[in-house]
Structure 1
Amino acid sequence: MPTEIRKTLLHVEDTLIEGGKVAEVPLRMIAALAVIKNPWAGQGFVEDLRPGIHDCAPGLGELLTKMILDVAGSGEAVEGYGKSAVVGVNGEVEHASALIHTLRFGNHYREAVGAKSYLAFCNTRGGADAPVMIPLMDKNDGGRRSHYLTIQLSVADAPGPDEIIVALGASIGGRPHHRIGDRYQDLKELGHDVENPAAIKA
């Protein structure tokens, strides 16, 4: 891989009890992270980010996808998915965005899990131990609120000033005891045409 990876991390979280009630189906959330050297570090303002994107994004997408699937067991098992990046304080938020907002990164994951929805995302800047927030949504149904989830974690020594944390997240299942319905119910009650794609985005 043409990028310098300092470390990778795998986070697995199982929720067995929520609201004092045992979950009928436990929720498993998985995060795969890579701490990499910022490919644009020390170069000042870089106008064309594409060479760095092409060098780094495909390999990161492939690596992190494999880490997720090794835990999930298969792409079919993944129900919710998302991505995130945190750039160190010497970098631009655009550097974090560049590595995750490209099909060269996301398509590895999207195709591996057979998804239709766009990947929920977060891109921020911070110092070591900054929160890594990975929002999730249903991989095939953007209106399925049960799978609106967020994985939150941090890496004690990352990102360094000239590093970027790049992450993928997954859920097997949705929120235990979810009971707020889906977006379609609201749209129908508000008089919108649920079959109209434009209405779904309202």
Structure 2
Amino acid sequence: MEELLRKITAHAEDILIEGGRKVAKPYRVVAVAAVLKNPWVGRGFVENLKPEIDAIAPRLGEFLVPRLLEIIGGADKVEAYGKAAVVGTSGEIEHASALIHTLRFGNQLRQAVEGTSYLSFTNKRAGPGCSIDIPLKHITAEGTRSHFLTTTFAIADAPGADEIVVALGASTSGRPHHRIGDRYEDMKEMGVDQTGKAAA
């Protein structure tokens, strides 16, 4: 996998003021990304993507998860997480999806932070300097709206036409001054169950 990897980037924000008001507990949002050559470009339509998924996705997790946790201050600091992939213009969106929609990749972060929620995600095709958005959600309480966040960054020279950017994101808390309640509160008030149907 290392022969495909061009570089790893990191982006971090420490939020101190939101809405003109000081944040009681400053929080950090971090994203790390790998820029790698698309292993399927130039081969025509590849029916079976699994050999490359099995070979590359676990290694990407091994590269990215420790960097993410180091920048954010440790696994115990992570309250929300997510992932993203962007394929260059010579590839398919399926190529981006292949490397992040596998337990061989996502489980490495989920297990490291003792999460149970699936990682929110985006996957798309775009060119160098595009906006890379990573939606985040609480690592265990999926309906906790305070942790519905998006971290956004860009890499000036990636993805190239024959590249894929694979990224992970995390935050140390939810939105500052969050005050819209949780999905669970709505369910209780509306008398509905987990599916949105009226509770018996």
Secondary structure of the corresponding residue to residue 76 of structure 1: helix
Quick one: distance in 2 between partners of 1:68 and 1:117?
Answer: 18
Secondary structure of the corresponding residue to residue 135 of structure 1: strand
Structure 1 residue 199, shift from structure 2 partner: 4.3
Structure 1 residue 198, shift from structure 2 partner: 3.6
Quick one: distance in 2 between partners of 1:62 and 1:198?
Answer: 36
1:158 — aligned with what?
A: 158
- Give 1:30's aligned amino acid: V
Per-residue displacement from partner, 1:117-149 (whole Å, max 9, x unpaired)?
Answer: 011010010011111010000000000011000
Following TM superposition, the consecutive aligned residue runs of length 4 or more in structure 1 with deviations greater than 6 angstroms are none
- Give 1:62's aligned amino acid: E
**Alignment RMSD (CA, Å):** 1.2
Structure 1 residue 21, shift from structure 2 partner: 0.2
Quick one: distance in 2 between partners of 1:6 and 1:191?
Answer: 52
Quick one: distance in 1 between partners of 2:42 and 2:50?
Answer: 17
Quick one: distance in 2 between partners of 1:85 and 1:170?
Answer: 15
- Give 2:107's aligned amino acid: N
Secondary structure of the corresponding residue to residue 70 of structure 2: helix
Secondary structure of the corresponding residue to residue 161 of structure 2: coil
Task: Write the mapping of 1:160-199 to structure 2, written as runs, cut at 5 A.
Answer: 160-193=160-193, 197-199=194-196
Aligned residues: 197
2:28 — aligned with what?
A: 28
Judge conservation of contact 1:2–1:55 (CA < 8 Å) in 2: no
Per-residue displacement from partner, 1:9-57 (whole Å, max 9, x unpaired)?
Answer: 0111111000000000112100010000001011111000001101110
1:115 — aligned with what?
A: 115
Quick one: distance in 2 between partners of 1:159 and 1:94?
Answer: 15
Gaps of 5+ in 1: none
TM-score (normalizing by structure 1):
0.94
2:62 — aligned with what?
A: 62
Quick one: distance in 1 between partners of 2:190 and 2:49?
Answer: 44
Q: For residues 120 and 3 of structure 1, do their structure 2 counterparts lie closer, same or farther at Cα, with a shift above 3 Å needed?
A: farther
Quick one: distance in 1 between partners of 2:13 and 2:21?
Answer: 17
Q: Higher mean Cα deviation, 66-75 or 171-180?
A: 66-75
1:137 — aligned with what?
A: 137
Judge conservation of contact 1:83–1:167 (CA < 8 Å) in 2: yes
Quick one: distance in 1 between partners of 2:62 and 2:151?
Answer: 20
2:138 pairs with 1:128: no
1:72 — aligned with what?
A: 72
2:5 — aligned with what?
A: 5
Quick one: distance in 2 between partners of 1:199 and 1:68?
Answer: 35
Quick one: distance in 1 between partners of 2:143 and 2:30?
Answer: 21
Identity %: 56
